[in-house]
Structure 1
Amino acid sequence: MKKLVFGLLFLGLTSLVYSQNDVQKNIILEPVTIKPLNLSYLKEVQHEDTPELVVNLQNEAARYDITELPIFDREFEAYEVIFKTKKEGGTSGLITATYDSNGKIMSSIERYKNILLPKTVRDAINNKYPGWIIHKDIFLVTYRDDRKAKQVFKVQIRKDGDKKNLKLDYDGNIH
């Protein structure tokens, strides 16, 4: 029995020793071109509570590379590109972005309809107008690379046949 145990132990150790063989292979990687996103644009227009649809469309605009298009010519000062999205339930988004000859976003005008409003905005409406129902909303963003972005939520609320139109910012301040 001792011989059998030692034999199995010996076989087990020799198979472990064999598995530790050092084999090196040369790996050659393809060159990769890394292009920066329009980070200044994203930093300015995105907020921690930005709705998902808005974030997705803004990210698409930031990653868009105008220099890769066949019609691109550095002699032109600017290019205007329109990004659209539409979801079930009437939610939609539109960005009209102006790119310079290097592919940087110089300005954008954005309009989103019937999005999920940030919690701070919903809470501000519910606190000031209890019992009122949000009927429709529009989120507007205006960006210029030399100014602070303007972001406003235009919300229509209704109750008992009455309606009110409100303008709010991300902090829930009603203007």
Structure 2
Amino acid sequence: MKNLIIALFIVGSVTNTLAQDQFFETKITKDKVPPVILKSLAEDFPGSVYQDFKAIPLKFFKNDVAINNDQDPNLDYNTYQIYVVGNNKKITATYDESGKLLGTEEIAHKEALPVDIDKSIAEAYPGWIVKNDVYKMTHYRGRKPKEQYKIILEKGAKKMKIYIDGNGKVLNDLIRSPKTS
């Protein structure tokens, strides 16, 4: 399980930061995705649209996980990532070859903030108004989901970007002064 979590972290980090260089994934068509994964997708994300399918060539060894860049794209893979859109959210879901959901990364823009988050902002930043927000939730099987909000606040001509966890704790803030000409 530890190796799987490490592998998902590596794949997620690399694919997000190096999306233009798809070193660790192979784009595949829907017909190349095993039926058991498509069935799990329909159960896990009903009414959603599946936009992108990728196979990830992970190999599990005794105490390690490796990415096999030489994987033949015509062979079966053991890990798949599917980009899911629905319910005003964008989700990257990772499945193993048996259709078990290994992890998700969910991103939503301009969602209504939970009451606890609104309250936390009002207490920490009186007079500031929420202008934009992005919600991100990362979840790996067997672990507690990690939630984070990126929120843009305004107060007059000042803008501030803050990061808050799912419990309302401010993680970081950055005040940006208005641009001067």
- TM-score, length of structure 1 as denominator length: 0.53
User: Deviation at 1:62?
Assistant: 2.0
- CA distance in structure 2 between the aligned counterparts of 1:125 and 1:61, rounded to whole angstroms: 36
Alpha-carbon distance in 1 for matches of 2:90, 2:163: 19
**Per-residue displacement from partner, 1:115-167 (whole Å, max 9, x unpaired)?**
01100000110112122110000011112225433210111100111011111
CA RMSD of aligned residues (A): 2.6
Q: Determine the structure 2 residue equivalent to 1:80.
A: 81
Greater relative contact order (Cα < 8 A, sep 6+): 1
How many angstroms does 1:103 deviate by?
1.2
Match of 1:149 among 125, 145, 149: 145
Structure 1 residue runs without a partner (length 5+): 1-58, 65-73, 87-91
In structure 2, the gaps of 5 or more residues are: 1-40, 47-74, 172-181
Q: CA separation in 2, counterparts of 1:164 and 1:61?
A: 40
Name the structure 2 match of 1:110.
Answer: 106
Q: How far apart, in 1, do the equivalents of 2:145 and 2:78 lie?
A: 22
In the alignment, what sits opposite 1:129? 125
Number of residue pairs the alignment of both structures matches: 104
In the alignment, structure 1 residue 62 sits paired with structure 2 residue 44: yes
Deviations 1:75-123 (A, max 9, x none): 431222111136xxxxx41001011112111122211110011000001
In structure 2, what is the Cα distance between the partners aligned to 1:95 and 1:61? 15
More strand by share: 2
For the residues of structure 2 that align with 1:111 and 1:61, how far apart are their CA atoms? 20
- Determine which of 96, 103, 115 is the counterpart of 1:100: 96
User: Aligned in 2, Cα 1:63/1:156: closer, same or farther, shift over 3 Å?
Assistant: closer
Separation of aligned partners in 1, 2:93 and 2:156 = 40
Distance in 2, Cα, partners of 1:99 & 1:118:
29
- Secondary structure in 1 matching 2:167: coil
**Counterparts of 1:63 and 1:84, CA distance in 2:** 9
Question: Hey, what's the Cα distance between the residues in 2 that align with 1:121 and 1:165?
Answer: 14
* Richer in helix (by share): 1
Distance across 1 between alignment mates of 2:91 and 2:43: 8
- Over alpha carbons, which structure has the higher Rg? 1
- CA separation in 1, counterparts of 2:107 and 2:132? 13
Structure 2 length as normaliser, TM-score?
0.51
After superposition, the Cα gap between the structure-2 partners of 1:135 and 1:63, relative to the gap in structure 1 and judged at 3 Å, is closer
- The residue identity in structure 2 corresponding to 1:82 is Y
Tell me the amino acid that sits aligned with residue 158 of structure 1.
E
